[in-house]
């Protein structure tokens, strides 16, 4: 009897809130990670053609250490590499006219679904394109100049507001205000008031719009939503090694890590569960 009592005193009940692996909480909802593609080196610049439910992104081809653009069907998981582009890095979709634009080392290309190739549109062959965004015209930035251009009505011009401002990434919100990132941070330019406000000082590596035109961005450590009314930045989730983000037609978030593409699907299961166990490690 004595021995039993002594033993008991060495046990402790431990409670812990554990998060299930592959589960993530965003705005108090549980999401499950679904890996869509693995073994892809440095996927950047994600965009979605909502018409065909196809994701486009750039990656680094291992053999030549060169940028290439790949497509991934979000319906069937069909995956492939787009051929015909020199150093493809950027993509953008003109949803109204069903045109998928791609940017390479030598200008702007147009993608053909029939044969998964892209042809140079010979608009500006002397620019190396870093990023693209479509909203009533094709916005694109160049590298290493970091200049923002707009291709509209068959004409290409430097975006007038950014003649003397370096721009790595550019997007346009629902009100037509430009959101852009450079080495100083992430900014929004209000075209009516002609004022610029700082949104964030983080290093932004991707900007995207959902099907309704709401803007999201990624940094190496998280994914964020930009409230276009208040210009507040909402953290959706934090994580290491984020390379880019896109939002599906149904609102599911897709993000890239250093070597994979992952979808976050809403789940009814709770991410957290309470664990309870006896421990005798208190000695
Ligand atoms: C999430 O839940 C917490 C605790 O219940 C609550 O305080 C918070 O307002 C909720 N946040 C959102 C975005 O719903
Ligand atoms: C792919 O298809 C497009 C459109 O039909 C065509 O213009 C292009 O030449 C084709 N490219 C190849 C390599 O077959
Ligand atoms: C980045 O943009 C901000 C806001 O327009 C500007 O003040 C800053 O000079 C820009 N940085 C560079 C390196 O051009």
Which pLDDT tens digit goes with each residue over 36-50? 999 999 999 999 999
- Tell me 2's DSSP state: H
Q: State the pLDDT at residue 9.
A: 53
Q: State the pLDDT at residue 10.
A: 60
Ligand 2 pocket check for 112: Cβ under 6 Å: yes
Ligand closest to 168 (CA) is 3
- Rounded to the nearest angstrom, the gap between the alpha carbon of residue 200 and the centroid of all alpha carbons in its chain is 16
Q: Cα(97)–Cα(100) distance, rounded to whole angstroms?
A: 9
Residues having CB within 6 Å of any atom of ligand 1: 27-28
Q: State the pLDDT at residue 15.
A: 75
Q: State the pLDDT at residue 193.
A: 94
Ligand 3 pocket check for 183: Cβ under 6 Å: yes
Measured in angstroms, how far is the CA atom of residue 155 from the centroid of ligand 3? 25
Closest ligand 1 atom, CA of 28? 1
Which pLDDT tens digit goes with each residue over 218-257? 999 999 999 999 999 999 999 999 999 999 999 999 999 9
Q: State the pLDDT at residue 281.
A: 55
Ligand 3 pocket check for 166: Cβ under 6 Å: yes
Residue nearest to atom 5 of ligand 1 (CA): 28
Token readout for 257 is 């890590």
Ligand 3 pocket check for 110: Cβ under 6 Å: no
Closest ligand 2 atom, CA of 84? 13
Stretches where the chain sits below pLDDT 50 are 1-2, 5-8, 282-283
Q: State the pLDDT at residue 282.
A: 47
Ligand closest to 28 (CA) is 1
Residue nearest to atom 11 of ligand 2 (CA): 117
What pTM, to 2 d.p., does this model score?
0.89
Residue nearest to atom 13 of ligand 3 (CA): 166
Collect all residues with Cβ–Cβ distance below 8 Å to 48 and sequence separation of at least 6.
54, 55, 56, 74, 93, 246, 247, 248, 249, 254
Tell which one of 110, 119, 121 to mutate to probe ligand 2, the residue whose CB is within 8 A of the most ligand atoms: 119
Domains along the chain? 2-279 (2.130.10.10)
Q: Cα(39)–Cα(5) distance, rounded to whole angstroms?
A: 56
Q: Cα(208)–Cα(90) distance, rounded to whole angstroms?
A: 12
Token readout for 243 is 């390379």
């Amino acid at each position: 009897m004595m021995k039993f009592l002594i033993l008991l005193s060495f046990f402790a009940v431990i409670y812990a809130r554990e998060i299930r692996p592959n589960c993530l909480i965003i705005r108090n909802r549980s999401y499950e990670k679904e890996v869509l593609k693995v073994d892809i080196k440095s996927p950047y610049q994600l965009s979605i053609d909502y018409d065909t439910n196809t994701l486009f992104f750039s990656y680094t081809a291992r053999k030549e250490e060169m940028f290439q653009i790949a497509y991934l069907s979000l319906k069937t998981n069909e995956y492939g590499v787009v051929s015909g582009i020199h150093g493809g890095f950027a993509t953008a979709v003109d949803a109204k006219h069903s045109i998928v634009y791609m940017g390479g080392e030598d200008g702007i290309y147009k993608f053909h679904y029939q044969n998964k190739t892209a042809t140079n549109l010979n608009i500006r062959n002397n620019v190396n394109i870093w990023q693209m965004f479509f909203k009533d015209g094709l916005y694109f930035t160049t590298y290493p100049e970091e200049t923002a251009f707009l291709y509209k009505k068959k004409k290409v011009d430097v975006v007038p507001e950014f003649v003397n401002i370096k721009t790595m990434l550019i997007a346009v919100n629902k009100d037509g205000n430009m959101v852009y990132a450079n080495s100083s941070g992430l900014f929004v330019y209000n075209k009516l008031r002609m004022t610029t406000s700082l949104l964030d000082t983080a290093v932004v590596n991707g900007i995207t719009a959902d099907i309704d035109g709401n803007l999201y961005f990624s940094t190496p450590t998280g994914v964020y939503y930009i409230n276009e009314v208040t210009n507040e930045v909402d953290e959706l989730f934090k994580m290491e090694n984020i390379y880019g983000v896109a939002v599906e037609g149904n609102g599911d978030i897709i993000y890239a890590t250093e070597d994979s593409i992952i979808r976050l699907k809403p789940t009814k299961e709770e991410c957290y569960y309470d664990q309870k166990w006896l421990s005798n490690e208190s000695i």
